[in-house]
Structures are given as C-alpha cells and as structure tokens.
Amino acid sequence: MDKIQHSNIKVNGINMHVAEIGEGPAVLFVHGFPELWYTWRHQMLFISSKGYRAIAPDLRGFGDTEAPPLPTSYTALHIVGDLVGLLDSLGLDKVYLVGHDWGAIISWYFCLFRPDRIKALVNMSVVYTPRDPSVKPLDYYRKTFGDDFYVCRFQEIGWEEEYGKVDTKRQLAASYFNRNPSAPKLPKDYAKCFNPHPYTIPSWFTKQDLDYFASKFRATGFRGGFNYYRCFDLNWELCAAWTKYKIVVPVKFIVGDLDLTYHFPGTKEYIHGGGFKEAVPGLEEVVVMEGVGHFINQEKSQEINYHIYDFITKF
C-alpha cells in the first residue's frame, strides 16, 4: 500500500484526489457509496503487478476530493466530466474502466457519453437500466418501495444530519457487512431506530480498513454521497437525448447473489432473460457469485482481481 502514490489534480473546476500505482495500459477504477478510492486497494495492487497502471480517484464529494455545495452539481454529466478531465490531465486517450455501485452507474453513463475513451468495461452490482421516458426514477422507486426506501429518504435535504447522528464506524459496518438482500428501508427518525447487531469484522476486512473509511467520512459527512441520489430525476431529464442508446463497448458484469441490487424487482429476469443483452450489445460475460453480498470487490477481492484481469487482457 505504501507504493500507491497520491496526488491532487484540478479537473472540471474542482480539486480531485487521485491514487495511482503501476505503469502500462491504464485501468480507471470508479467507487460507489459509501466508499472511496480505498475500496479498490486489492485490485490496484494486483492489476499493477500485472503490468497495468491502476488509477482510482475519490469521486466528487467523497474523501479528499472537493465537494461542491449544491446537489445539482452531482449529475452524471458532472461526474463523467470530472473523469474525462482526469484522463485528459493524465494524457490518457483510452482506458479500461471498472465500476461498482454508484461507480457502476457512472461507468454506464461514461460509456453512453464517451465510448471513444473506453477500451472495455468491467461493472459490478448495478445493471444498466435504459431510460424510460414514461416515468421518472423517483416516481418508480416511491411506487415500488415506498417513501422509506433509502433512495427516497436520501432526497430530503438536511437528512444527512439525521444520518450523521449515528456513529460513523457502526454506520459503515452495518452497510459493508450486511447480508440481507432485501430493499433497505430507513424510517424518518432513523437515528433513534438505528440499532444493528454488534458487528464482527469478517475475514475479508480489517480494523484498519474500517478505521480508514470511518476517518474520511467523519471528516466529510455523507452529503456528497447523498447528492448523487438527489440527481436521479435530474439525470433522467438531462439524458433525454440518449433515450434508446445502447452500450456498445465490451462489457463484463459481475454481481453477488446476496446483493440487494440483484433482488430488485425484475432484475434477475432482465439479466438472464435477454433484456440486459439487448440494452448492452457489448455484454460478453455475466458472472453471478454465490454467497456474496454487495461489496463484492472487497469480499471476494482475489476472484474479482482475476475476473478483471482475464477480461481486459482480451482487448
């Protein structure tokens, strides 16, 4: 880990913290919520040992990267713009792209907006969902899951203060180590109701890992991450021009069978029934890992390392 280099780069009007290691063809890793560049620590060390340049930024609003105050500064156009600006600053024309969770969503958008910059994509947990012009995302979520659904709850400006009343380390542990694939529901008086079982750090995580994540989120809070969710409908509006557009870059998709995203209504049928391949003609492989939860790249780091490596070596 001490060989990973850190820098701050001005991109798209913000200062971005970037972790890098290795030389060779570049692999850009895009993290999710509530995560940081650090979520890719295992993949960065492995991929760099195989002759690649591993690059993992803290996304806008996370960790040591600048966090603009307005929720409307966190659209997919902003985030992809940051990443394109990063590639330009590093002198990189095309990269291999790897995403997870919100990083997967951003990676799908990256392939929509600028497929010319992507050699191949390995995406985890969140499938590509084509834009439905007939319904806004938040209307769908509220109708399907109710107002307590976590995505809906995150829409409430100021709710991050309620979230922040809970001890950060316990909050993160409850997210990272969760094995329940049902849709998360968050009551309005969340801090009073938050009473998870005492956590035990699993074998694939360490106390030092949890300390690192907690120290960064204690410093920044969760507002930056919530602002991604607050742009769901705005992304839907801004991306009307890409309606019916398909993902044409080569793609490998990986998900755990205990991942909450795999259990969203209709997702399994979409993945295995042909709808996913229709929307993503570049889809070459789908991997469902048994007994694995949402934070798949950390829980099964070595398997994910080889899945990434085996796929990108084809291109």
How many C-beta atoms lie closer than 10 Å to residue 93's C-beta?
Answer: 10
The Cα–Cα gap between 54 and 43 comes to: 8
Q: Which of 58, 64, 101, 259 is catalytic?
A: 101
Pairing type for strands 251-256 and 118-124 reads parallel
Q: Is there a contact between 224 and 256 (Cβ–Cβ < 8 Å)?
A: no
User: Taking Cα atoms as reference points, which of 116, 89, 91, 118 lies closest to residue 30?
Assistant: 118
Tell me the H-state helices in the chain: 41-49, 76-89, 102-113, 137-145, 150-153, 159-164, 168-176, 190-193, 207-220, 223-229, 232-238, 267-272, 275-279, 296-299, 301-312
Q: State the amino acid at position 302 in one-letter form.
A: Q
Is there a catalytic annotation at residue 229?
yes
HEC profile of 244-274: CCCCCCCEEEEEECCCHHHHCCCHHHHHHCC
The Cα–Cα gap between 301 and 199 comes to: 21
Is there a catalytic annotation at residue 101?
yes
Give the strands of the sheet with 283-289, arranged side by side: 5-11, 14-21, 53-57, 26-30, 95-100, 118-124, 251-256, 283-289
Q: Which of 31, 78, 294, 307 is catalytic?
A: 294
The structure tokens listed for 264 are 């969203």
The Cα–Cα gap between 148 and 150 comes to: 6
Q: Which of 38, 96, 109, 229 is catalytic?
A: 229
For 130, residues 6+ apart whose C-beta sits below 8 A from its C-beta are: 243, 244, 279
Which of helix, strand or coil describes residue 14? strand
Which residues are catalytically annotated? 101, 229, 294
